[in-house]
Structure 1
């Protein structure tokens, strides 16, 4: 049975995530200047549901998704084992975002913030927070990379001096396409299964996760404004489609959130909202030496200090 104290905390998290979704959609509509997010409310037969909001064919954004979900229920023993969670009544809620721009000069961006808890059969509450934000430029601009990582470091440093270096390394390791031996982009921060300890309370962890979420709109609005009017041609568009292909590979092969959604019978359209409208795979594609494409490919590796 869920205690009234924890039910209040659940409600606080859910309300904050719903508000975050609304704030981000409003800010991104303003940054795009044309596109409007549609609303698609859905229910999960086993318990819970969510609200998927999609913007398509905007001035800047070809396809953007901002998804809120709150799902709950009892996983099967097989599901609990596969997802590495204890058996019991679970609740998972969060906001997940992926944005694919029309211009190859504007980067792809992803963010996720989430809260997960399980009430075990012996009435023990096990919870954790997770999330992250990462940037996938089609063409790496070192000034943009520095700006992006500096903003994330500022958020992390408010809560713990180890958060940025720890979560930056975690992102490098997580957003890595093993079969290509390349990172998905320039990383960012990633964290999972965060719990309170002697240094930080549950409430402070929630404040941190929410501040990561609130950093999304100003960061991406800046990157849109800076890059949306840069010129590009057919060569850059082809490279964009190839890089989108890498993005698809990561999300379908490695992404934990995608796997969780599929294992818990989530809504497939909402789970796969992260995929672009178009992508390409060219057999043995190799960029020309010393080209902008080759320079970007050379920077898709772990351990780069962007600051």
Structure 2
């Protein structure tokens, strides 16, 4: 069986590939790296890109941490063990252009050792989702087709199952709207008769490597389009919804804070500028109203 060290090495390689490709796409900004260590065990590489031609703020972070789970996280994960190991890559990109979408991706592995000689409790998780400021049907269909192709290569059931999971997970309950147009989300994916650990790890890596061809296509489709100050203001309003979800509901944020993670790395997902407009109502028939109408669960894009 693959080791946790092999999984971490594979994720580090994916972080390197994505950072190089994003720098080439932006054409100006370069990632700044901070290598950090976690009190209690492990550490990571935080890489931030800012103030570029198209990327206003983004992060591509790698971590491999271990130690003791606090009681609150044991309860949240429904496990009895205290010792844990977790590794993964987490990405959030906020463009400076309202017609270029926000994107998030996460691939991760979690392990809890048991008694000597016994199989550890372990699983893979992750996902990718898109948050357009304005929903463009053609772009939404392209995005979902890309990730469906990845899923279908491994299982006919993955896309529908993980898309439904994403619709339910990336949902802002207090607003009764989805964070964006969804994508896929999965957790506690383990080996079974149809898929062994090597295949699950391969799925995780293939999903990670789908990020660049998918997102660069969406960036290049829209980055040179003109936009108005009003559209930029709408972008800032949509960013506020993104912020609300990440601070109120996101499990990764909670896990990082509860396990004494690095605060700057955990909160790198927040946008540089966001606005909360009191009691906002979109103009009837506007693109803003149309976008709000599409922030719903269960929309089939492919």
| Pair 1:79–1:302, CA change in 2 (3 A) | closer
1:246 corresponds in structure 2 to 241
Count of matched residue pairs: 301
1:225 corresponds in structure 2 to 220
User: Are 2:43 and 1:54 aligned?
Assistant: no
User: Are 2:189 and 1:209 aligned?
Assistant: no
Give the CA RMSD over aligned residues: 1.1
Shift of 1:51: 0.3
Alignment of structure 1 residues 116-135 onto 2, 5 Å = 116-121=110-115, 123-135=118-130
Gaps of 5+ in 2: none
Gaps of 5+ in 1: none
2:152 corresponds in structure 1 to 157
Name which of 263, 266, 274 aligns with 2:269: 274
1:14 corresponds in structure 2 to 8
Once residues 137 and 76 of structure 2 are traced to their aligned partners in structure 1, the CA distance between those partners, rounded to angstroms, is 39
Q: Is the 8 A contact 1:104 1:232 kept in 2?
A: yes
Report which stretch shifted further, 201-210 or 75-84.
75-84
Name which of 133, 141, 144 aligns with 1:138: 133
Moved over 6 A (4+): none
Q: Is the 8 A contact 1:83 1:260 kept in 2?
A: no
Once residues 65 and 76 of structure 1 are traced to their aligned partners in structure 2, the CA distance between those partners, rounded to angstroms, is 27
* TM-score under structure 1 length normalisation: 0.96
Q: Is the 8 A contact 2:70 2:258 kept in 1?
A: no
Once residues 62 and 175 of structure 1 are traced to their aligned partners in structure 2, the CA distance between those partners, rounded to angstroms, is 23
1:100 corresponds in structure 2 to 94
Q: Deviations over 1:204-234 (max 9, x none)?
A: 0000011000000111111111100111111
Shift of 1:83: 3.5
1:38 corresponds in structure 2 to 32
1:83 corresponds in structure 2 to 77
Q: Is the 8 A contact 2:72 2:258 kept in 1?
A: no
1:67 corresponds in structure 2 to 61
1:286 corresponds in structure 2 to 281
Once residues 274 and 76 of structure 1 are traced to their aligned partners in structure 2, the CA distance between those partners, rounded to angstroms, is 24
1:191 corresponds in structure 2 to 186
Once residues 161 and 76 of structure 1 are traced to their aligned partners in structure 2, the CA distance between those partners, rounded to angstroms, is 38
Name which of 278, 281, 302 aligns with 2:297: 302
| Pair 1:153–1:79, CA change in 2 (3 A) | closer
Once residues 111 and 297 of structure 2 are traced to their aligned partners in structure 1, the CA distance between those partners, rounded to angstroms, is 32
